[in-house]
């Protein structure tokens, strides 16, 4: 965390290398959150770029005393995701990931490694599909806790809600996700 | 413990964040409550699935695109403090127009192209004249050596000019040549190097 703050300071002093390091260190976090939230690779790339553009423009507003850089970054990401969700809600209703092609029939002729890869890809697809069925509030809470491994306190800061509400949303999100996974035929 | 209390603790229970006493209280409640046991089973199932999900890697090109969109090809960080671009004087509106050609890498390429062309025309012409005037092999070798030495001097001159231009553009000292003796002309320490440690 200290390193991030130092990098931000260097960026503000005009150090391009520090900015590059910040991007490299956090691109995975932002892209992962975007991908799991939207379930679409192409949208996630655009959103990740947009997040870093916003961060770049607003870097001077980051205050280390009010939280870690990661929390600030995730808050910006989350706000953009919610904005994007509101804008594209109608499109999503018409195109709710059901058009994604599953290569189940191709599995039979594959070797063990390839089959495992396909299984992992399927698991990832199933997760994306199930997450899309959750409300944005529950989805973001589950993603931040169980995929991005944030502490409750960090999630509370990111979402700007009390910790109790965070836990309640995580609970409801997990249970709803379990039901959606079972509805898609995943056995636990 | 009642169901309502258990619900408040469910998240911590699944994440293993409960102290011994409260965990025991929750387990006692689970023994006698089917609906809370089902809630726990669902939450644990979801967590197990989420934890086994493969991590998502950004495409390698994405990072390069972000860097390009923000600080450009040259890697120099534009002012991010806000307002610096706008308060750049009367001709600031021309800045976006010339931004692409003011990149240090573009300027270096242009300098090298001009250098190549000038060398080709100037020394090429001279070499042809020498060739025509002095047909002996020794004279030709000497003429070529002279030409190469002259070209090298010009390269050094143009490199120095380009390095100075680069420094003015970026605020960073240009890299020294390999084997250059450090002294008055050696580049200064880059800014903020201490902060990066």
DSSP states of A102-131 = P-GGGGGG--HHHHHHHHHHHHHHHHHHHH
The domain limits of chain B are 3-52, 103-170
Q: How far is B179 from chain A (nearest CA, A)?
A: 25
Q: CB of A167 within 8 Å of any CB in chain B? A: yes
Q: What is the spatial distance between Cα A51 and Cα A79, in angstroms, rounded to a whole number? A: 9
In the numeric block, the tokens 């980051």 are attached to A62
- Say whether B75 and A14 touch across the interface (CB within 8 A): no
At A172 the pLDDT is 93
- Give me the phi and psi of A98, to 5 degrees please: -70, -20
Lowest mean pLDDT among A84-93, A127-136, A174-183, B25-34: A84-93
Q: Which residues of A touch B70 (CB under 8 A)?
A: 19, 23, 52-53, 56
- B55·A28 Cβ contact <8 A: yes
Q: Tell me whether residues B80 and A57 touch, CB distance under 8 A.
A: yes
Q: Which of A120, A130, A165, A143 is nearest to A74 (CA)?
A: A143
Q: What is the pLDDT of residue B173?
A: 65
Nearest residue in B to A141, CA atom: B11
The sign of the torsion formed by the CA atoms of A74, A80, A86, A91 equals negative
What confidence score (pLDDT) does residue B197 get? 39
Q: Which of A53-57, A67-71, A75-79, B180-184 has the weakest average pLDDT?
A: B180-184
Q: Which residues in chain A have Cβ-Cβ distances shorter than 8 Å to B82? A: 57, 60
Predicted pLDDT of residue A90 = 61
Q: Are A27 and B66 in contact (CB under 8 A)?
A: yes
- Res B177: pLDDT: 52
Please check the confidence at residue A13 and state whether its pLDDT lies above 50.
yes
A38 pLDDT above the threshold of 50 = yes
Fold of A1-95: Rna Polymerase Sigma Factor; Chain: A (1.10.1740)
Q: With residue B44 as reference, give the H or E element that holds it.
A: helix B34-52
The pLDDT assigned to B153 comes to 92
In chain A, domain spans: 1-95, 115-188
| pTM for this prediction | 0.58
Q: Give me the pLDDT at residue A83, please.
A: 86
Beta-carbon separation of A16 and B71 below 8 A:
yes
Q: Which residue has the higher pLDDT, B139 or A15?
A: A15
Across the interface, do B56 and A20 touch by the CB < 8 Å criterion? Answer: no
Q: What is the least distance, in Å, from the CA of B192 to any CA of chain A?
A: 6
Contact B36, B13 (CB under 8 A): no
Q: Is the ipTM of this complex over 0.85?
A: no
A98-132 pLDDT per residue, tens: 444 333 334 444 455 555 656 667 788 888 889 98
Compute the nearest-CA separation of B105 from chain A (Å): 15
- Topology of the domain covering A115-188: Arc Repressor Mutant, subunit A (1.10.10)
d(CA A126, CA A97): 10
Structure tokens at A130: 């199930």
**For position B83, what pLDDT does the model report?**
39
Angle between the N-to-C axes of helices B104-133 and B137-170, in degrees from 0 to 180, rounded to the nearest 10: 170
Per-10-residue mean pLDDT, chain B, length 197: 87 89 90 91 90 84 87 55 45 66 79 90 78 71 86 91 82 57 45 44
In whole angstroms, what is the distance from residue B18 CA to residue B6 CA?
A: 12
For chain B, say whether A155 makes contact (Cβ under 8 Å): no
Q: Tell me whether residue A55 is exposed, middle or buried, using C-beta atoms within 10 angstroms of its C-beta: 0 to 12, 13 to 18, 19 or more.
A: buried
């Amino acid at each position: 965390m200290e390193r991030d703050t130092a990098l931000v300071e260097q960026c503000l002093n005009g150090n391009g290398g520090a900015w590059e390091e910040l991007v490299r260190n956090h691109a995975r976090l932002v892209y992962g959150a975007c991908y799991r939230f939207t379930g679409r690779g192409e949208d996630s790339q655009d959103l990740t770029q947009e997040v870093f553009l916003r961060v770049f423009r607003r870097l001077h507003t980051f205050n280390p005393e009010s939280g870690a850089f990661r929390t600030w970054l995730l808050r910006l990401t989350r706000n953009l995701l919610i904005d994007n969700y509101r804008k594209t809600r109608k499109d999503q209703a018409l195109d709710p990931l059901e058009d994604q092609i599953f290569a189940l029939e191709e599995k039979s002729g594959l070797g063990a490694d390839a089959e495992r890869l396909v299984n992992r890809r399927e698991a990832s697809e199933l997760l994306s599909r199930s997450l899309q069925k959750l409300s944005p509030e529950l989805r973001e809470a589950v993603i931040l806790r169980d995929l991005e491994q944030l502490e409750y306190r960090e999630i509370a800061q990111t979402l700007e809600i009390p910790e109790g509400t965070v836990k309640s949303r995580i609970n409801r999100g997990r249970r709803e996700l379990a039901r959606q996974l079972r509805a898609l035929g995943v056995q636990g | 413990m009642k169901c309502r209390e258990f619900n408040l603790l469910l998240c911590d229970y699944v994440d293993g964040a409960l102290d011994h006493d409260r965990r025991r209280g929750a387990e006692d409640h689970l023994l006698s409550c089917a609906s809370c046991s089902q809630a726990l089973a669902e939450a644990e199932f979801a967590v197990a699935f989420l934890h086994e999900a493969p991590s998502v890697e950004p495409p390698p090109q994405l990072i390069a695109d972000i860097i390009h969109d923000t600080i450009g090809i040259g890697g120099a960080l534009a002012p991010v403090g806000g307002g610096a671009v706008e308060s750049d004087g009367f001709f600031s509106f021309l800045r976006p127009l010339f931004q692409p050609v003011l990149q240090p890498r573009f300027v270096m390429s242009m300098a090298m192209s001009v250098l190549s062309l000038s060398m080709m025309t100037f020394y090429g012409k001279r070499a042809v004249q020498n060739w025509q005037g002095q047909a002996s092999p020794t004279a030709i070798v000497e003429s070529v050596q002279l030409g190469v030495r002259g070209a090298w001097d010009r390269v050094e001159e143009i490199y120095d000019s380009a390095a100075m231009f680069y420094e003015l553009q970026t605020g960073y000292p240009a890299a020294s040549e390999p084997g250059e003796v450090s002294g008055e002309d050696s580049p200064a320490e880059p800014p903020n190097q201490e902060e990066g440690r």
